[in-house]
Chain A
Amino acid sequence: MTNHDDRADALDRLLTGEADDGALSAFLAQARSSLTTPADEDTAQRHLAEIVEVAQEHAHTAPAPAATPTTRVGRWRRRAAQVLGYTATKIALGVGVAAAATGGLAATDSLPDAVQGPVSTGASYIGVDFPHPNDDLEGSAVEDLPTLPSDDGSERWDDTRGAEVDPPADQADVTDDVPADEAPVDEVPADDDAPPADEADTGTDTADTADEEAPVDTDAPPSDEDEARDTADDAADQGDTRTP
């Protein structure tokens, strides 16, 4: 600290009455005391009457009580309750909006499977029936999906929606290169042409499911086509067992 700063601090202390500097210090103390002498009682009462009158005219929107001062604890408790009330309202509103949006999407099965499943399960507890993602693999929904033949004789989904039935690269190439009319299911060769197990992997669970759900005429005698399909199914099953 420089002498200049020391000097400034000393004057500061002098001004606030913390330092004694003889005549100057005494003068400052006296000046403070003398100058701040309150107004006489009548003047003060007159001032206060005018102030209160004007204040009450302007107080139409004032929120605080005018009678007694409230405690600090009570004020904080009120503020906390107010904040919590706002927060609870916002949370409830948010939950309601989210539930409405999710419910709407869930009812139309528009949610991702990872979300659709829990929502469907949760809704079932309260008696609301939302489609479950596994429902897609059951019933007639599968029949509505376009299918492409695979060279193992089974059908697979013409899946453009994701990776759930994406075949391995070599299999995909084959499928893409072969037009559907050149390899119809009907022309799949019988047992001796069954694909090796690794190629049968392409069937996956979906192929199995599709075959299981395909309409079967149980009254008709087994034909060559049926036998060929059975063989393909067996091969696919073998592949499934090796597929994790």
Chain B
Amino acid sequence: MTIGPEFDDVLAAARAGGEWAWTRIYNDLSGPLLGYLRGHGAEDPEGLVGEVFLRITRSLESFEGDEDGFRSWVFTIAHHRLIDERRKRSRRQTTPIDDVRPGNDLPPVEAEPEALDHLTTEEIRALFDAVLTEDQRDVLLLRLVGGLTIAEVAEIVDRTENATKALQRRGLRSLERHFERNPDDPYPYSPPERLQE
């Protein structure tokens, strides 16, 4: 979802503090931002989205560019905020999320095609954790939920476009192999409700 031709007007109104403009921007970007933060396993993705938007609001005067540039800029802020959160988390020496997941000791359920319709955030995140490196996940999530181009992603993750393409290619190949090797059991984690089905 994009704002489209009215983006300049929306941006100008947002700079002036227009509520309608911020509602438009929030509705357009909060979902992809949540997806990026959820896919990375942020502890409080909703809270982080609120922080990211407050940073956008305070820094909007410094932004110059079109809608694509704005989207890329927003995800850059989110990416940096996520890195900050990882550092804080590592300093707190918290237990890795994989070790506290409910059902981790439970036998995985058989994957059925219709079960894909009910994939949870935890299932997706567990699969990413098991199959992808952190860099591959960065690239895939920015492309998948952020809708960014290779060039924009390369800028955010501070890599060359070729390196970014390589990360994307390897990440997708890893996922593909995982599904080929585990046709009946693709998900390393299944939520308790799925086990009860």
- Using a CB–CB distance below 8 Å, which chain A residues touch chain B? 7-8, 11-12, 14-16, 21-24, 26-28, 30-32, 34-39, 43-44, 46-48, 50-52, 54-59, 61-67, 69-70, 72, 75
Partner of B16, one of A8, A32, A65: A65
Bound: A147/B173 CA distance, A: 101
- Chain A residues with CB under 8 Å of B50's CB are 43, 46-47, 50
Asked if B179 and A51 make an inter-chain contact with CB atoms under 8 angstroms apart, the answer reads no
List of 9 A-B pairs having minimum Cβ-Cβ separation, nearest first: A64-B12, A66-B18, A35-B35, A56-B17, A59-B17, A62-B16, A36-B35, A69-B9, A66-B16
Contact of B17 among A43, A46, A55 (CB under 8 A): A55
Q: How far is the CB of A169 from chain B (nearest CB, A)?
A: 69
Q: Is the CB of A31 within 8 A of B119?
A: yes
Whether the pair B169, A55 counts as a contact (CB closer than 8 A) is: no
Q: A24-B176, A43-B46 are in contact. Are A36 and B31 (CB under 8 A)?
A: yes
Q: Is B5 an interface position by the 8 A CB rule?
A: yes
Tell me if A54 and B35 are in contact (CB < 8 A).
no
| A-B pair number, CB within 8 angstroms | 154
Bound together, the chains give a CA A52 to CA B20 distance in angstroms of 9
**Contact across chains for B34 and A30 when beta carbons are under 8 A apart:** no
Residue of A nearest to B111 (CB): A23
Interface residues of B in 13-51 (CB under 8 A from A): 13-23, 26-27, 30-32, 34-36, 38-39, 46, 49-50
Instruction: Assess whether A44 is in contact with B30, with CB atoms less than 8 Å apart.
Output: yes
Cα–Cα distance between A47 and B52 once the two chains are bound (Å): 10
State in angstroms the CA–CA spacing of A35 and B23 once bound together: 20
Question: If A24-B175, A34-B124, A69-B10 touch, does A47 touch B140 (CB 8 Å cutoff)?
Answer: no
Q: Which residues of A contact B27 (CB under 8 A)?
A: 38
Number of interface residues of B (CB under 8 A): 59
CB atoms of A39 and B168 under 8 A apart: no
What is the CB-to-nearest-CB distance from A24 to chain B, in angstroms, rounded to a whole number? 5
B13 lies within 8 A of A64 (CB): yes
The stretch from B55-63, B76-84, B87-95, B97-105 touching chain A is B55-63
Check: B165 CB closer than 8 A to any chain A CB.
yes
- B121-A63 in contact (CB<8A): no
User: What's the least CB distance linking A17 to chain B, in Å?
Assistant: 9
**Interface residue ranges, B against A (CB under 8 Å):** 5-6, 8-10, 12-23, 26-27, 30-32, 34-36, 38-39, 46, 49-50, 53-54, 57-58, 60-61, 113, 116-117, 119-121, 124, 127, 140-141, 143-145, 165, 168-169, 172-173, 175-176, 179, 183, 186
- A62 contacts B15, C-beta separation under 8 Å: yes
Give the docked Cα–Cα distance between A160 and B50 (Å).
84
In the complex, A75→B11 CA distance in Å? 14
By secondary structure, the A interface counts as: helix
The reply to whether B58 and A54 contact each other, CB–CB distance below 8 Å, is yes
Chain A to chain B contacts (Cβ below 8 Å), 8 pairs: A23-B179, A26-B116, A27-B127, A39-B49, A43-B50, A47-B53, A64-B15, A69-B13
- A50, B54: Cβ atoms closer than 8 Å: yes
Q: Shortest Cβ distance from B80 into chain A, in angstroms?
A: 19
Instruction: Kindly state the separation between the CA atoms of A224 and B17 in the bound complex, as whole angstroms.
Output: 102
Q: Which residues of B contact A35 (CB under 8 A)?
A: 34-36, 38-39, 121, 124, 141, 144-145
Q: Which residue of A44, A55, A63 is within 8 Å of B14 (Cβ)?
A: A55
Among B18, B19, B58, B127, point to the contact of A58 (Cβ < 8 A): B58
Most buried by A among B116, B121, B173: B116
Chain B residues near A56: list those with CB within 8 A: 17
Contact between chains at A36 and B32 (CB < 8 Å): yes
Among the interface residues A26, A48, A72, which one has the most CB atoms of the partner chain B within 10 A?
A48
- Report A-chain residues with C-beta under 8 Å of the C-beta of B16: 59, 62-66
Given the interface pairs A14-B172, A24-B175, A36-B145, the reply to whether A62 lies near B12 with Cβ below 8 Å is: yes
Q: Which of B5, B39, B173 contacts A31 (CB 8 A)?
A: B39
- The listed residue with most A CB atoms (<10 A of its CB), out of B19, B32, B60, is B19
Select the residue from B36, B57, B58, B141 with max chain A CB neighbours within 10 A.
B57
Given A36-B31, A64-B12; A22-B179 close (CB under 8 Å): yes
